Structure 1
Amino acid sequence: MLAVASVVGLACATSCFTGTATKVIRIGVDLPLSGADGRAGTPALNGVQFFVHQHPTIDGFSVEVVPRDDAVGGLHDPAQGERNVKSLGADPLVLGVIGPFDSNVARLDIPIANVAHLALISPAVSSRCLTKEPYLPAGLSPSHIEITCKAAGLPAPSELRPIGFNNFFRLATTDELQGPAAADYGYKSLKLRRVAVLADHEAYGQALAAGFMSRFTRLGGSVVAYRDFDPTTSLDMKAFMRRAANDGAQAMYYGGVTANHGCVLRAQMASVFGFGEVAPFLGGDGIAQDPNCIRNAGANAIGIFATVPAAAADAIPTAQPVIAAFKAQYGNPADYGPYTIAAFDSTGVLYAAVDRAIRAAGGKLPGRDNVINELSATTAYAGAGGTFGFDGAGDTTLRVVSLFESTSTDPNAPWTWVKAVDYSASLPY
């Protein structure tokens, strides 16, 4: 317990979170906890509960976790998330909510929580338009013209905040950094100089592809071919690949998701470029660590590199004592997941804000607005995953994108972490 407390670096001494409590504070959780999506959401809930187990009180208040499942039929459901946040917001003892896990759930959760003056802290969502305009900055657009959230088919951040102030915070960085991070890794680590790019005709994939191309060419590389294909039509891209190979393409970047058959393209590369790392296939978190991507890629699954807009806890030295303590308490390997530590830190930064709000209230239960104000003022919370604050929009100042490689044709094999690209000091555009 002492090792964990020293790692998280809470704003007050560890004694703030110990002692006999006669009053109650509740922390809500809105995550997918059942079915297929529960395989990622439940380990995140475990991270919340582990932090609370280690720190059961705050300044004389006992802390209770109130989990809500936003999955329906095994998949995250925005309407269920909305109902969950309404329920949590109706409880005056709930001072903050950890979640949601998915951007489309967040678009319904944020306005409900905003009206309830309730802080949301997400360990995972990365859609830029939840917090900032534009959807794609001009500096990442090949045309040098920004793409607004409305043009991308998404509500602007102001539309999600009917009362006007921000109540949403997150520990994952935003999607527009994924393409540049893949470009940095491809150019600097893989030594790529000529690539072909495909996008899946959706706003997410188009933005990732645009960010990759802009950064890659700025670094000195060349995009020899680009195609924005419709995944509902023919998926045979071998002719496109042959032309790209003839123009010297060493690799391909795909902006899109597995469901749009992106990793089928990886399988097709084998007949043109050969197998494996000789011709890398790069993409974003729409394919990262996805067993279906590996199934679709088949024998050519090795050599896929994909970004995730968050730090990889297993590669962070300061996270290792927390991970070891967690695994000592939770014996099942499935209890730990990619977002366990992010959820742990989400809970920790909420604790620190609640502690400051209680102190400002003279030891009484603080108002929710005071908790939001304290979260907004966070500049250097020392979490297990690193030291971070929140900018004026509620985004983390720890802007890290992780790269993972598929090193096996087994869909159930874990992907290998290969690199962290850190844009905390300066943005790539």
Structure 2
Amino acid sequence: MRTRPLKVALLGCGVVGSEVARIMTTHADDLAARIGAPVELAGVAVRRPAKVRAGIDPALVTTDATALVKRGDIDVVVEVIGGIEPARTLITTALEHGASVVSANKALLAQDGAALHAAAEEHGKDLYYEAAVAGAIPLIRPLRESLAGDKVNRVLGIVNGTTNFILDKMDSTGAGYQEALDEATALGYAEADPTADVEGFDAAAKAAILAGIAFHTRVRLDDVHREGMTEVTAADFRSAKRMGCTIKLLAICERAEDGASVTARVHPAMIPLGHPLASVRGAYNAVFVESDAAGQLMFYGPGAGGAPTASAVLGDLVAVCRNLLSGTTGPGESAYAALPVSPMGDVVTRYHISLDVADKPGVLAQVATVFAEHGVSIDTVRQQGKDGEASLVVVTHRAFDASLSGTVEALRKLDTVRGVASIMRVEGE
């Protein structure tokens, strides 16, 4: 075994960073045996140096992250500070000064992954980021390496634990959205400002990363259609149960049937209770992958938290250190396919539409005519009426999203339609 240690700089020492430092210390002998050389924490960049950090030598702590990544003796930089800046500049600087990088920064990779990969290739260094998607679940490496010889057609997953906890509570207890969110906040699953989670921004960043790897195509955050889950109601869950479904916030990345384009989207959807994703409870994540040769694969586990995310970071650290010792680099960006990313209007799926209508003869015929005029075929209709008002629930066959949008706009213009109460896609069938 090589005796000179590989030196690691840690950017950020919050929930994840502190766990990375702890595991590096407590498992030092095991890590050295697995890598073939000891690894040494050579510096920790933080914003508040006076804070006591158990197990970390105060002499390693600095507020000058730039100076730390420029040190010529640093072999690997681990970035767990998140956000776009200063993380982007620090990662680029680290690569320029001869360090490989391990990152957990989904937002940055979804926005500027191509530029970061180019910088890593230019300087002959590694850029690994297993922890950026689905926490401890091994997902990026299987897509990037294990399935490298296969053709992935679809990635369908629950990639945000906060939203899954909220929707699971609404499903199992009948609670409303706000009540379930309050419980998630009290238990520490939701941030004080849950916008990134409940509005789908977090899941959309992960979808961009997954789609890019799965389809060998550059997919940016702006390419991902995003809808949040704040409008999901207890009534939607009751309707879902009548269909034998539940509701999940899904990240869906698909290759078109003709293979000429891809789509990436995040939105709440009804999913049959028999689908493996329907049974994912609490704050857990799960991703369902469909490929030509391997068929259907399921990846499941904790998708967030200090220790689970640190596990993924340390897995990347071991891989990068092994590459350094052997004088090689791991797989970089694979974007050779360069497929266009189609707009949401080109997506084809089924829909569940709930309408508030006047309870009088001819309403159903008017509604059915609008669907037919826009090329959307109706599968089932359920109507309930009382005191001159009625609810009309329509479930469609597969149709283009653009056709469904046109249908809904036309329905809103009917005098007999008092409101469109809910539109929910039906996936996973």
Bucket of the pairwise TM-score, normalised by the shorter protein: 0.3 to 0.5
Larger RCO: 1 or 2 (CA < 8 Å, sep 6+): 1
Q: TM-score, normalised by structure 1?
A: 0.38
Which is higher, the Rg of structure 1 or of structure 2?
Answer: 2
More strand by share: 2
Q: TM-score, normalised by structure 2?
A: 0.38
